[in-house]
Amino acid sequence: MVAEGEGAPGGTASPPDLLRLHEAIAGLFATQGDWQRAYQHLRSALAIARDGSIRDALTSSYNRRYLDERLYGPFTDRPPLGLALIDLDRFKSINDTYGHLVGDRVLRRVADLLQEDLPPGGFCARYGGEEFVLWLPGVDLGRAVRVVDDARLRVARHPWSELQPGLRVTISAGLAHETPESGAPTSPERRLRRADALLYAAKRAGRNKVAYQDAQTTQLISHSE
């Protein structure tokens, strides 16, 4: 991710800058009749444009469009698959107390923390507002729970007071998990509803918790910070 304030001379080029650069180089090679290299740069430009269309502008995590493509498009990730719906606890009070600029910085940092240590093929997507989804393919329930709870702990233990004195940020999560033994894959709507219901169970239990189902019983986990 490009750090805040970059883009000045010597900084990392932004995706729009790279897109324009590849387009310009492609045009130059085209005028010279070097169609092969022009095509290569056009492909690079298209890849950058595609990536930009599926990334959240604020957090650089994947966006709702990409998540919907994975949920409703050709389903390539077969069970076991974990899907965690995550919400920042009392985020409105953060915006009200510290302002929306601080709130935006919190969202960016939480997104970074959520994207650490995901299994191969896993990703984080911003679902909307202060909600995120973790897509966790190829892991059993125990591993999925550990991944989500480790993310919860990273957020809770992050030195938020360095951003603003007195600032504290936690998340709650609902984890829906499906195995090959679960039968036919559930629909995207049902999968999200299950994760959403478990998220609210974590909220009702006091927040800063992970809720999941084990043998049809809702379990809640939280550890000392």
Hey, which residues are catalytic here?
130
The tokens 């969202």 sit on which residue? 107
Q: What span, in angstroms and rounded, lies between the C-alpha atoms of 77 and 99?
A: 40
**CA 72 vs CA 22, 27, 77: distances in Å:** 32, 37, 12
- Identity of residue 103: G
Nearest to 222 by CA among 166, 169, 171: 171
Starting from the edge strand earliest in sequence, which strands make up the sheet with 131-137, in order? 123-128, 131-137, 81-88, 171-178, 210-214, 217-221
